[in-house]
Amino acid sequence: MVKIRTQTTLCAIILASLTLAGCETNPVTGRSQVMIVSEEQAQAASSQAYAKTLADARGKGRLNTNAQATTRVRDIANRLVQQAKIMIPASANWAWEINVVDDDNVNAWCMPGGKMAVYSGLLNRIAPTDDELAQVIGHEISHALLQHGRERMSRAVATNVGLQLGSIATGVNLTGLENVAMVALELPNSRAGETEADGVGIELAAKAGFHPNAAVTLWQKMARIGGPKPPQLLSTHPSDEARLANLRALIPKMMPFYQAATTPPGRTKPSRD
């Protein structure tokens, strides 16, 4: 018993040391994030996972089957990516890519390095306007820009280190539990992360010429189709009154960006008087 407690304590100390040593301050949000995994590692791992995801969808005949939907998604994403490159210049070197996967889940995501997917369930069940679809894609792009994926990967690595050390102490094969822990950690974004992605996403969309009001109408639509089994996006992107209130408060600040993006060259903006 003493030996197990000693090993457990050692595990906790090493885990805490790794976490502390890997903390970085995000230059956009000012929040401290655990970053054990490097940006290069995160992007390389994401690229491999993305390639497998596309290969699986292609093999099942579920990749970009609707040319019109694919073109629409890519056109909107391209406008947002141009703004992302301005906001975070390092992202200009990313191998950005977006595809549409035939899947009934209401979902979309963006991996480290700009690898994105939109599910047909989002397009069919939500029926988003272009402005609303831009809010979804902008939100997911923001997770990548703010390195939330890398942050979750780092926390998973830290947990795996703890599990591996714990297995030494107990003599139990924890390989399966490590995988479960990784999945559990990677599913949800933190409330802080969601708020950050909301703020950056609505800004990207406004600067790309998509109306900020759509951020509110989008999440209202999401909430309406929730029911007893909410869409996958809502399982990690909770839409509550506090969130909607925060988005409404952001709209007046985003309107100048939207107006600048949509005012034709040579014309002045309408007076507010």
Catalytic residue positions, numbered: 140
E-strand ranges in the chain read 23-25, 32-34, 97-101, 108-110, 115-119
Instruction: Report the chain's C-alpha Rg in angstroms.
Output: 21
The candidate with the shortest Cα–Cα distance to 202, out of 150, 149, 152, 246, is 246
Unique residue bearing structure tokens 């990690």: 236
Q: Tell me the CB-side half-sphere exposure of residue 91, using CA atoms within 13 A.
A: 24
What whole-number distance in Å separates Cα of residue 76 and Cα of residue 16? 42
The candidate with the shortest Cα–Cα distance to 201, out of 127, 148, 150, 156, is 148
231 and 105 in contact (C-beta within 8 Å)?
yes
Alpha helices in 89-231 (DSSP H): 120-121, 130-145, 148-170, 175-186, 191-207, 214-224
